[in-house]
Homo-oligomer: A and B are copies of this chain.
Amino acid sequence: MGKIFDVVLLILILVSVVFVMLESVKGFPEEVYDILYYGEWVITIFFTFEYIARVITIKKPSSYIFSFYGIIDFLSTVPLYLSFILVGSNVLLTVRALRLLRVFRILKITRYVGESNKLISALKESRPKILVFLFFVIIISIIAGTVMYLVEGEESGFVSIPVSVYWCIVTLTTVGFGDIAPVTPLGQLIAAFIMIMGYGIIAVPTGIVSAEYAKSTSKAKPDDDHYVHVNSQACRNCGASKHRDDADFCHHCGDQLHPEDILEKDA
Docked complex: A150-196 residues within 8 A CB-CB of B:
150, 159-163, 165-166, 169-179, 181, 185, 188-189, 191-192, 195-196
Chain B binder among A30-38, A62-70, A197-205: A197-205
Number of this chain's copies in the complex? 4
- Neighbour of A228 across the interface among B24, B208, B224, B227, CB < 8 A: B227
A55 at the B interface (CB under 8 A): no
Q: Interface readout for A232-256 with B: 1 if CB under 8 Å, 0 if not? A: 0000000000111011111111111
| Residues of B close to A123: CB separation below 8 A | 204
Chain B binder among A1-9, A40-48, A80-88, A112-120: A112-120
Q: Which residue on B lies nearest to A172, using beta carbons?
A: B199
A213 at the B interface (CB under 8 A): yes
A143 at the B interface (CB under 8 A): yes
> CA–CA, A170 to B256, complex, Å?
71
Most chain B C-beta atoms within 10 Å of own C-beta, residue among A129, A132, A177, A256: A177
Band of interface residues on A: 35 or more
> CA–CA, A185 to B160, complex, Å?
11
| Residues of B close to A243: CB separation below 8 A | 251
A217 at the B interface (CB under 8 A): yes
A94 at the B interface (CB under 8 A): yes
Q: Interface readout for A123-138 with B: 1 if CB under 8 Å, 0 if not? A: 1000011111111011
> CA–CA, A229 to B223, complex, Å?
10
Q: Which residue on B lies nearest to A232, using beta carbons?
A: B225
Would B191 and A166 count as touching, CB distance under 8 A?
Answer: yes
Docked complex: A15-43 residues within 8 A CB-CB of B:
17, 20-26
Q: Tell me, rounded to whole Å, the shortest Cβ–Cβ distance linking A136 to chain B.
A: 9
